[in-house]
Amino acid sequence: MDHFIFRQSADLELLVCKPMEAQGFINAFTTRYGGVSPLPAAALNLGNYSQDDYANITENRRRLKEALGLPDWPLLTLRQIHSADVHSIFTIDGAAPFLDRNPPPGDAIVSCLTRVLLAIQTADCLPILIADRRTGVTAAIHAGWRGTVAGIVTRIVGLMQQRLGVSPADLIVAQGPAIGPCCFEVGPEVIARFRELHDQVDCLLSGHQVDGRANLDLPLANRLQFRQLGVDDSSIYDCNLCTVCQNDKFFSYRLEKGAERPVGRLMGLIGRNQFDE
């Protein structure tokens, strides 16, 4: 948590990665209150159209941009599908579909544009923000266990290298609030999938049970992917906040879905004003 700070703005409380901000990158992870959604009340639901009014989500997103002091910046989102599909946006025209209520499907977005916000919606899955110190390129990733095991981090960093001339050594990474290793119990079938792809799987698991279930460390699994790609370990920042343990602050799908009420979505965002190489 050392490298993160909670910042109050109007009725919103936003978690900011300080080293990323110090390099000129606007970034934030939202918390659950300060909005108008009845989930259960005054909730800042920034996604989940199927269970909340479009007008509520629009107002919540407006409040968020207002709180960031960026009311006019377009907010680029994805229709997240737990895939490893990555989108790259090079022009303002190319950004247009991502402003829509029904944006293209995918789980990671990368752009060289300034004055736009790339946004990922989560409620337990890991939101990851990436900033390139040298070129100013930004990216946002939705990494649940499926995306993680499919190597979504490896996919997007590879694309940044090939198409945007990014070097992994220049990247700064912020991993936001997600279900932690304290609470993320998974079954043997999930563990088997990780075992197929990661030789270091044992360090990701704890609390082994006789039926084969264990707790999985999703942030560490993604950190290992970044490390393997050549990102400096000291440039990867984890907030270490668990959405289940801190359900007073964050939405948690796993915890709240049983309460028979809709679960809101948090947002992780990144953007940049201008860039001088």
180 binds Zn ion (CB under 5 A): yes
Question: Nearest approach, Cβ of 182 to Zn ion (angstroms)?
Answer: 3
Q: Which amino acid is at 226?
A: F
Q: Which is nearer to Zn ion, 159 or 183 (CB)?
A: 183
Question: Nearest approach, Cβ of 179 to Zn ion (angstroms)?
Answer: 7
Interface characters, 209-248, with Zn ion (x: CB under 5 A): ---------------------------------x-xx---
159 binds Zn ion (CB under 5 A): no
Contact 150, 106 (CB under 8 A): no
Q: Which is nearer to Zn ion, 52 or 124 (CB)?
A: 124
Among 183, 186, 220, 229, interactor with Zn ion by CB under 5 A: 183
Handedness of CA 268, 217, 236, 225 (dihedral sign): negative
20 binds Zn ion (CB under 5 A): no
Question: Nearest approach, Cβ of 180 to Zn ion (angstroms)?
Answer: 4
Interface characters, 50-79, with Zn ion (x: CB under 5 A): ------------------------------
Q: Which is nearer to Zn ion, 1 or 92 (CB)?
A: 1
Interface with Zn ion (CB under 5 A), residue total: 6
Q: Which is nearer to Zn ion, 35 or 144 (CB)?
A: 144
- 84, 85, 86, 91 alpha-carbon torsion, rounded to 10°: -170
The tokens for 133 are 């110190």
Task: Determine the interface stretch with Zn ion among 111-119, 123-131, 178-186, 254-262 (rule: CB under 5 A).
Answer: 178-186
The tokens for 140 are 């946002």
Task: Determine the interface stretch with Zn ion among 9-17, 31-39, 99-107, 177-185 (rule: CB under 5 A).
Answer: 177-185
Task: Determine the interface stretch with Zn ion among 54-62, 129-137, 180-188, 199-207 (rule: CB under 5 A).
Answer: 180-188
Task: Determine the interface stretch with Zn ion among 92-100, 112-120, 182-190, 201-209 (rule: CB under 5 A).
Answer: 182-190
Q: Which is nearer to Zn ion, 152 or 244 (CB)?
A: 244
Question: Nearest approach, Cβ of 252 to Zn ion (angstroms)?
Answer: 9
Binding site for Zn ion (CB under 5 A): 180, 182-183, 242, 244-245
